[in-house]
């Protein structure tokens, strides 16, 4: 991948043993303005001077299992500060002669630190009784010689330890989850006081470093990039544009599956932002490619292929392009550790873009070290309009995966009207920013209704609004009944062909956010 591994002067290395919380550790460290990277435990990168400390993550495995994830700890211990979290701490204890056994009591959920030795840097300013989050089936019964207990709970004696004469620590709880009330304090103690990181990794620093790096890397070459109207591609394009100006050629395709008025409005914003952007009306091409297709995956494929064709046609009109810009973000590239089935990253099917090999372009992905919320922050620092930076995620295949069954221009039009009333309503009632993602779904069934004296037999639409952090899990939002009632009324009165509105109250898992 021709990405930009933006090496910062300082960083924390997080070694992942497959915990569902590993990405959260990274987010918390970055919230402290300290850059960090996640690497699988079995692919430890070279320990260069910029790495100021290492965090060993948790894991769904037990250190007692044969073949459980293992690491050459001798190569790290004593050379730089080390913090083992849950599995990481048990691995440290077990490897050096301690005893790790199954817990007698299930230790899952909230606990309180009944003993804290705040003389130790890791626990500085932590309060007696501090609530922490436990999630483990094993417990450290005996510590090896030279390991000191520095915190306990009522049922876990070794809640935290330190190895004498070296900056190596282990904690049994998860400081990265918000239920550990002073978890961030503990992580600050580790990365700032123990590792000595200077907390200077900010959006502005990221922007300056990235623009300089892009300039050096791309020089006078030309870059082509597909824009989607979403946050990621817009922020990536703005960064590249800052670096190389008019040599960035953006292509924004109207696939006929966008929200009402979205193509015109977003194209206008892009032009206002000074981007060199070509808008392509390819609606009919997409409708033709989708004709008669009902299967969700087949729809995605048809849309992906049509996009490649349209993008290719446009890119071929440009001369001498060497690079392809992409808005890939960090969760898409973190190599997941598969210890118990596939872990966190399950989004491969989400990338509708992709390009044929024959285009032979090198890829430039300036956001591939950032999480979504960091992308938004960078976008704001770049003065990208809030209408783009603050918008809900929207899937690449657009309304096609919210129209159950086959796609026609007429169905798209109906759904666009419904979606418009819902989204506009959320904005007008100050609810839009409380929702992570919202939209409407056109169901492939009709229901009986009555309007005036007439019986009707028309379409049903579902509304969905979810709260989430990253789309991996989500819960439905408890929108006010009055609001739902008003929107339902408005939809049925104003959208021809719809006589019933339902609200989706399923969480993910087990449901997904999209219906297809």
Would you list which residues are annotated within the binding site for ATP?
228-234
Residue 393 binds to ligand XMP (criterion: CB under 6 A): yes
Residue 397 binds to ligand XMP (criterion: CB under 6 A): yes
The tokens describing 173, both together, are: 């709880």
Residue 340 binds to ligand XMP (criterion: CB under 6 A): no
Q: How far apart are CA 138 and CA 62, in angstroms?
A: 7
Q: Is the Cβ–Cβ distance between 334 and 325 less than 8 Å?
A: no
DSSP states along 346-411? --GGG------GGG-PEEE-TTTT--HHHHHHHHHHTT--HHHHTPPP--TTGGGGGB-S---HHH
Element (H, E) at 236: helix 231-244
Of the residues 86, 195, 197, 250, which is catalytic? 86
Respond yes or no: is residue 86 known to be catalytic: yes
400 Rama sector, left if φ>0, alpha if ψ -120 to 50, beta otherwise:
alpha
Residues with Cβ within 8 Å of 176's Cβ and at least 6 positions away in sequence, in order, are 21, 24, 25, 27, 28, 85, 183, 187
> Among 389, 395, 458, 476, which residue sits at the site for ligand XMP (rule: CB under 6 A)?
395
> Among 30, 300, 376, 402, which residue sits at the site for ligand XMP (rule: CB under 6 A)?
300
Residue 350 binds to ligand XMP (criterion: CB under 6 A): yes
Respond yes or no: is residue 174 known to be catalytic: yes
DSSP states along 132-175? EEEEEEEEEEEPPTTEEEEEEESS-S-SEEEETTS-EEEESS-T
Respond yes or no: is residue 39 known to be catalytic: no
Place of tokens 């450290």: 140
> Among 244, 396, 442, 498, which residue sits at the site for ligand XMP (rule: CB under 6 A)?
396
Q: Is the Cβ–Cβ distance between 216 and 49 less than 8 Å?
A: no
Interaction pattern, residues 454-493, with ligand XMP; x per rule: CB under 6 A: -----------------x----------------------
Of the residues 174, 213, 374, 417, which is catalytic? 174
Q: Select the span of 149-157, 163-171, 325-333, 507-515 touching ligand XMP (CB under 6 A).
A: 507-515
Residue 399 binds to ligand XMP (criterion: CB under 6 A): no
Residue 513 binds to ligand XMP (criterion: CB under 6 A): yes
Q: Is the dihedral of CA 404, 405, 406, 410 positive or negative?
A: negative
Of the residues 37, 176, 182, 213, which is catalytic? 176
Identify the CA nearest to 232 among candidates 359, 355, 377, 347.
Answer: 377
Q: Nearer Cβ to ligand XMP, position 300 or 411? A: 300
Residue 352 binds to ligand XMP (criterion: CB under 6 A): yes
Least distance in angstroms from the C-beta of 254 to ligand XMP: 16
Q: Nearer Cβ to ligand XMP, position 368 or 499? A: 368
Least distance in angstroms from the C-beta of 303 to ligand XMP: 8
Q: How far apart are CA 213 and CA 512, in angstroms?
A: 38
Residue 449 binds to ligand XMP (criterion: CB under 6 A): no
Least distance in angstroms from the C-beta of 235 to ligand XMP: 16
Residue 437 binds to ligand XMP (criterion: CB under 6 A): yes
Residue 512 binds to ligand XMP (criterion: CB under 6 A): yes
Identify the CA nearest to 207 among candidates 394, 363, 384, 14.
Answer: 384
Q: Which residues bind ligand XMP (CB under 6 A)?
A: 300, 349-350, 352, 393, 395-397, 437, 471, 508, 512-514
Q: Which residues does the annotation mark as catalytic?
A: 86, 174, 176
């Amino acid at each position: 991948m021709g990405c930009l591994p933006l090496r910062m002067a300082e960083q924390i290395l997080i070694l992942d043993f497959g915990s569902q919380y590993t990405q959260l550790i990274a987010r918390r460290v970055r919230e402290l303005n300290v850059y960090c990277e996640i690497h699988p435990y079995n692919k430890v990168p070279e320990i260069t001077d910029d790495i100021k400390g290492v965090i060993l993550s948790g894991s769904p495995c037990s250190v007692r299992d044969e073949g459980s994830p293992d690491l050459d700890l001798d190569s790290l211990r004593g050379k730089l500060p080390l913090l083992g979290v849950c599995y990481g701490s048990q691995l440290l204890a077990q490897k050096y002669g301690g005893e790790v056994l199954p817990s007698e009591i299930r230790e899952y959920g909230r606990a309180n630190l009944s003993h804290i030795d705040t003389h130790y840097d890791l626990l500085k300013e932590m309060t007696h009784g501090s609530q922490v989050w436990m999630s483990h089936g094993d417990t450290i019964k005996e510590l090896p010689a030279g390991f000191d207990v520095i915190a306990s709970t009522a049922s876990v004696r070794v809640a935290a330890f330190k190895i004498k004469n070296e900056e190596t620590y282990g904690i049994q709880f998860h400081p990265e989850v918000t239920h550990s009330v002073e978890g961030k304090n503990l992580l600050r103690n580790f990365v700032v006081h123990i590792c000595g990181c200077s907390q200077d990794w900010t959006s502005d620093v990221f922007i300056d470093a990235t623009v300089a790096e892009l300039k050096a890397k791309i020089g006078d070459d030309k870059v082509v990039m597909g824009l989607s109207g979403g946050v990621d591609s817009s922020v990536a394009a703005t960064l590249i544009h800052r670096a190389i100006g008019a040599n960035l050629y953006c292509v924004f395709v109207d696939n006929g599956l966008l929200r009402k008025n979205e193509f015109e409005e977003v194209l206008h914003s892009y032009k206002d932002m000074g981007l060199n952007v070509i808008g392509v009306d390819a609606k009919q091409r997409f409708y033709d490619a989708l004709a008669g297709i009902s299967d969700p995956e087949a729809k995605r494929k048809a849309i992906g292929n049509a996009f490649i064709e349209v993008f290719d046609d446009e890119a071929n009109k440009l001369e001498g392009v060497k690079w392809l810009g992409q808005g890939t973000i960090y969760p898409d590239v973190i190599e997941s550790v598969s210890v118990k089935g596939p872990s966190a990253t399950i989004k491969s099917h989400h990338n509708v873009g992709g390009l044929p090999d024959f285009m032979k372009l090198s890829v430039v992905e300036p956001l591939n070290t950032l999480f979504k919320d960091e992308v938004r922050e960078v976008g704001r620092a770049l003065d990208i309009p809030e209408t783009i930076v603050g918008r809900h995620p929207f899937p690449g295949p657009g309304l096609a995966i919210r129209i159950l069954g086959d796609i026609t221009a007429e169905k798209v039009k109906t759904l666009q009207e419904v979606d418009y009333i819902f989204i506009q309503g959320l904005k007008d009632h100050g609810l839009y920013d409380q929702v992570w993602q919202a939209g409407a779904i056109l169901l492939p069934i009709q229901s009986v209704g009555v309007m005036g004296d007439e019986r009707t037999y028309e379409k049903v639409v579902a509304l969905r609004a979810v709260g989430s952090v990253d789309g991996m899990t989500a819960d439905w939002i408890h929108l006010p009944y009055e609001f739902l009632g008003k929107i339902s009324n408005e939809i049925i009165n104003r959208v021809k062909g719809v006589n019933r509105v339902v609200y989706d109250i399923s969480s993910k898992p087990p449901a997904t956010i999209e219906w297809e």
